[in-house]
Structure 1
Amino acid sequence: MKKLGILLLGIVFISFISCNETKKEETVEKTVEEIIDNKTVEVDETPIALGIELEGKSGSSSSARIKFLQEDGLVKMEARLNGLEPGTHAIHIHEKADCSADDATSSGGHWNPTFEPHGKWGDEEGYHRGDIGNFEVGEDGTGSISMQTDEWCLGCDDEKKNIIGKAIIVHQGADDFTSQPSGDAGARVSCGGIIQ
């Protein structure tokens, strides 16, 4: 009889512990779900803002002002361009923040740290991290383009994302998104280094 009492007491004790552990797990799961549902997960990142000026190259009198803002894991770019011929123009990130050559060839080729073929941004067949795209310029010689991506960063340690030390190039013509390695966009008519 004594043994039966001890056995029953043991079963009750194990059941009590098991229930408490289950409740703890449910509480933890519920807390995590509440945090995700309420979007209270915080990213400790101070916004970084950077503005650069582009100057005319290859005999062009064009200019541009480009703003970058890094916040919440995204880099946003806004470009306002002036003094360009009306029509479609390509804009790319190039390898080096060196605009010293009259034709801006000192900036190197397209920035392509992932060794992809040239293409349109987001294409499944591949694209360079510097393949921003095309934009339109009106009869008044002005144009604009904006984009945002998590594939760039401003000054991070990831060489496949960091655009600091690169250049922004505006081309005379449109990018055809197929010609390799640069889209057959013509002369480099504006250049500016992405420098902090």
Structure 2
Amino acid sequence: MKSRLTLLASALVLTACASMTSGPRAVAQLQSTTGNTATGTVSFTKSGDKVVVKGEVRGLKPNAEHGFHVHEKGDCSSGDGLSAGGHFNPDGKPHGNHSDMAHHAGDLPSLKADASGVAKFSFETTSIAVGSGPSDVTGRGLIVHRDPDDYKTQPTGNAGPRLACAVIARG
């Protein structure tokens, strides 16, 4: 009897811990823009006070870096990704490196493609939210750019044309 109670208590503690650390989730299914081949899946999961961003993007230029941003509009209808608007920037900050204090909420770390043109990534951020608040990315656009982000040019980082676009949807 005592061992059953111990097992039950352990299961309850693990369940409680899991529910405390994992929160709302959103998913983006990247589709290539006209004339491009980049596609992929990205998940955004609230974990405590952070959001874990994980994904894989294929069809990129091998061994190259690509700008990666949340954009203000969840609209990929234009074929070139321009219908997604500019970078998501609810706080009116300048464009910058994700690791700097001042940057758009939508300024994410650049993607680094391997020799096969695949970028696999996982990082945590406090710049965005999932599920509520002014920095909620649900319903926003997600863009992969052709070129690396220079983290200086305002307001875009000079990351070039948009290779893939997605609407970030609650998942």
TM-score for the superposition, normalised by structure 1: 0.72
C-alpha contact 1:118 1:182 (8 A) present in aligned 2:
yes
Q: What aligned pairs does 1:145-156 form with structure 2 within 5 A after superposition?
A: 145-156=121-132
- Residue 165 (structure 2) pairs with residue 191 (structure 1): yes
Change in CA separation of 1:177 and 1:107 when aligned onto 2, cut-off 3 Å = same
Q: For residues 20-42 of structure 1, what are the alpha-carbon distances to aligned partners after superposition, in whole Å with 9 as ceiling and x for unaligned? A: xxxxxxxxxxxxxxxxxxxxxx9
- Residue 137 (structure 2) pairs with residue 163 (structure 1): yes
Q: For residues 134-193 of structure 1, what are the alpha-carbon distances to aligned partners after superposition, in whole Å with 9 as ceiling and x for unaligned? A: 12112211112222123322121x21x211111110000100000111000000000110
C-alpha contact 2:25 2:131 (8 A) present in aligned 1:
no
Q: Which residue of 2 aligns with 1:88?
A: 65
DSSP-derived class of the 2:169 partner = coil
- Residue 158 (structure 2) pairs with residue 181 (structure 1): no
CA shift at 1:44, angstroms?
A: 6.0
Aligned partner of 1:74 among 43, 50, 55: 50
Q: Which residue of 1 aligns with 2:5?
A: none
Q: Which residue of 1 aligns with 2:111?
A: 135
C-alpha contact 2:29 2:40 (8 A) present in aligned 1:
yes
Aligned partner of 2:99 among 106, 114, 122: 122
How many residue pairs were aligned?
Answer: 152
Unmatched runs of 5 consecutive residues or more in structure 2 = 1-16
Q: Which moved more, 1:141-150 or 1:169-178?
A: 141-150
Q: For residues 6-62 of structure 1, what are the alpha-carbon distances to aligned partners after superposition, in whole Å with 9 as ceiling and x for unaligned? A: xxxxxxxxxxxxxxxxxxxxxxxxxxxxxxxxxxxx996762233321000141121
CA distance in 2, matches of 1:128, 1:187: 19
Q: CA RMSD in A?
A: 1.8
C-alpha contact 1:168 1:192 (8 A) present in aligned 2:
yes
Aligned partner of 1:112 among 89, 113, 117: 89
Higher relative contact order (CA 8 A, sep 6+): 2
By percentage of residues, which structure has more helix? 1
TM-score for the superposition, normalised by structure 2: 0.82
Q: Which residue of 2 aligns with 1:56?
A: 32
Q: Which residue of 2 aligns with 1:6?
A: none
Q: Which moved more, 1:145-154 or 1:106-115?
A: 145-154
Q: Larger C-alpha radius of gyration, 1 or 2?
A: 1
Identity %: 31
